């Protein structure tokens, strides 16, 4: 029996490489139904003029991890959209450092999932806490617009 490719960090990495997570530089470390872990190198392209990780980059990083967690928990072919997101910024992450995001589900319902992602610097300091609600959509029907 082969493992579900949705649980393989390298397969997920390849899937998102040409999209925003790939442009940001999101690296998947662990992918599972109850925990998704990624890391992100703080580079000038995703930072503020002041040399720290941009808030939008933090939000996109967390949104990616929660969305991947949702997809893993859905039937194959299902789709998801973020319908709500809340970010609490705690501490800055300077350029040249690595941040690690850990997303865990707070709720796995029939139509929505809620994920919480904590983002920490290499030294363990908490940078942000993001909670998001994902709407689960059925696969598109063939022949429909």
CA separation for the pair 39, 24 (Å, rounded): 10
Q: In what side-by-side order are the strands of the sheet with 27-32?
A: 27-32, 35-41, 98-108, 112-121, 126-137, 79-89
CB within 8 A of 18, min separation 6: which ones? none
CA separation for the pair 74, 137 (Å, rounded): 9
- As a CATH number, domain 5-137 is 3.10.129.10
Each residue's pLDDT expressed in tens, for the chain with a length of 145 residues: 457 778 899 999 999 999 999 999 999 999 999 999 999 999 999 999 999 999 999 999 999 999 999 999 998 888 999 999 999 999 999 999 999 999 999 999 999 999 999 999 999 999 999 999 999 998 777 765 5
pTM, two decimal places: 0.93
CA separation for the pair 67, 94 (Å, rounded): 26
The structural domains of the chain, with segments of one domain joined by +, span 5-137
Closest CA to 121 of 40, 35, 18: 40
Question: Is 77 within 8 Å of 87 (Cβ atoms)?
Answer: no
CA 18 to chain centre: 15
């Amino acid at each position: 029996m082969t493992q579900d490719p949705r649980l393989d960090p390298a397969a997920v990495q390849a899937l998102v490489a040409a999209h925003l997570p790939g442009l940001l530089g999101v690296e998947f470390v662990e992918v599972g139904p109850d925990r998704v872990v990624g890391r992100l190198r703080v580079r000038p392209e995703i930072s503020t003029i002041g040399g720290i990780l941009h808030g939008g980059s933090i939000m996109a990083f967390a949104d990616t991890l929660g969305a991947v967690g949702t997809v893993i928990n859905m039937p194959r072919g299902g789709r998801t959209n973020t319908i709500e997101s809340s970010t609490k910024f705690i501490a800055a992450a300077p350029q040249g450092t690595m941040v690690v995001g850990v997303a865990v589900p707070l709720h796995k319902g029939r139509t929505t999932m809620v994920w919480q992602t904590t983002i920490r610097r290499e030294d363990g300091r908490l940078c942000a806490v993001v909670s998001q609600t994902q709407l689960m959509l059925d696969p598109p029907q063939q022949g429909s617009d």
